[in-house]
Amino acid sequence: MSAPTADAAHTLRIEGLHASAGDTEILQGVDLEVSSGRVHAVMGPNGSGKSTLAHVVMGRPGYEVTAGSVTLDGVDVLSLAPWERAQAGLFLAMQHPTEVPGVSAAQALAEALALRAGDDGPSDDQLERTRSLLEAEAAAVGLKAELVARPLNADMSGGEKKRNETVQLAVLQPRIAILDEIDSGLDIDALRACANRIEALTEAGLGVLAITHFTRVLEYLRPDEVHVIVDGRIVDSGGPELAEALEADGYTPYLPEEPDAGVAVSIGGLGSTPAAGTGASAPDDPFADPWADPLDELG
């Protein structure tokens, strides 16, 4: 596991991915490919499986992969522990970053970076350098240095946590980053600051899989490709113009309100109807409140 380099191209490939939480199948055959320097947006309504996709790729406990594969440069990601996936170059910026009492970002990231450098635990010097990097990156996204020195995510607002995720992303410099609703809870200035930082990283070779509910963040992240996920499948893919269409029409055209609509966009196989109780509730207007923090799909 060598350090990621800007010049080599890396590819995260998701093929036919099926995954369940408990008895509920949430992902029902996802295909996606993200390469260095490319920004892919995955958009979908509540309960479509967006966050599950992010969690399953990173290996969060509580999900079972029932079919399909995920590889990074041909390496089977699904057989790796979450930390090995991170060491291989994956990063997940979480929708709801967990508070870790008594553990600072510097302590955690110094452990990760020392391991990547082949060292057995960070030296004082590596800890100090990690601290400096965190402070510099915090300044770049307008997060107070005092906040990045705190125990991880302790007493931070939603927006501060998202900036903190961006800060850690920038310090770790992964190959492929999955951003799970990085825009939720961020005001417009913070969103711009985080997106600018991520865009600079993509120019240096970072591949991005940005999961989002709203098109707003895409004005700043500027995706190369946009995918629409409904009921655990990618039902449409296209260029940035697809996001504009979503802005105008919402997800309604993709939702199987009328049985015929499902056939028109080839959502599923024969007899495919949305399962009741999967969390795919009746479509509310996702643009009604752009400041809302969408509920976690499993919530």
Partner 1 sequence: MFSPDLVDALDGSDALAKRRRAAADRAAAAGQPSFTEEVWRYTPIDDLDPAQYGFAAPGGTAGPVGLLSGVDDGAAAVVHIANGEVLDVSVRADGVRVDTLGSGAEDLIGTVVPEGPDVFGDWNLALASAPVAVSIDPKAVLTAPVVVHVHTDVEGLAWFPRLVVMAGRTSQATVIEHHTGGNTPALICPLTELSVGDGAHLGHVTVQELGETAWQIANLCADAGRDANLRIGHVAMGGDYARARIGIDMTGRGGHSEIDAVYFGCGTSTLDFRTFQTHVAPHTTSDLLFKGAVDDYARAVYTGLIRIEADASHVQADQTNRNLKLSPNAWAESVPNLEIENSDVQCSHASSIGPVDADQRFYLESRGVPTDVAEALVVRGFFDEVLDALPSEQISASVRRRIDELVSDADFTAAL
The residues that touch partner 1, with contacts defined as CB under 8 A, are 58-61, 81-83, 86-87, 91-92, 94, 97-103, 107-109, 111-113, 115-116, 121, 151-152, 168, 172
Q: Is residue 206 packed enough to be buried (19+ CB in 10 Å), middle (13-18) or exposed (0-12)?
A: buried
Q: How far is the CB of 193 from partner 1 (least distance, A)?
A: 21
Q: How far is the CB of 261 from partner 1 (least distance, A)?
A: 37
Q: How far is the CB of 67 from partner 1 (least distance, A)?
A: 23
Q: What residues contact residue 201 under an 8 Å CB cut-off, 6+ apart?
A: 169, 170, 173, 177
CA distances (Å), 76 to each of 19, 25, 70, 274, in order? 16, 22, 6, 31
Q: How far is the CB of 151 from partner 1 (least distance, A)?
A: 7
Q: How far is the CB of 100 from partner 1 (least distance, A)?
A: 5
Strands 75-76 and 64-72: antiparallel
Nearest Cα neighbor of 294 from 50, 69, 100, 32 is: 50
Closest CB to partner 1 among 83 and 287?
Answer: 83
What is the b/e burial string over 16-32, where b = at least 16 CB atoms within 10 angstroms of the residue's CB? ebbbbbeeebbbbbbeb
Q: How far apart are CA 273 and CA 280, in angstroms?
A: 12
CA distances (Å), 203 to each of 27, 74, 200, 221, in order? 31, 23, 5, 11
Q: How far apart are CA 97 and CA 99, in angstroms?
A: 7
Q: How far is the CB of 81 from partner 1 (least distance, A)?
A: 6
Closest CB to partner 1 among 6 and 103?
Answer: 103
Q: How far apart are CA 53 and CA 230, in angstroms?
A: 12
Closest CB to partner 1 among 153 and 202?
Answer: 153
Q: How far apart are CA 266 and CA 185, in angstroms?
A: 34
Helix (H/G/I), strand (E/B), else coil: 295: coil
Q: How far is the CB of 139 from partner 1 (least distance, A)?
A: 20
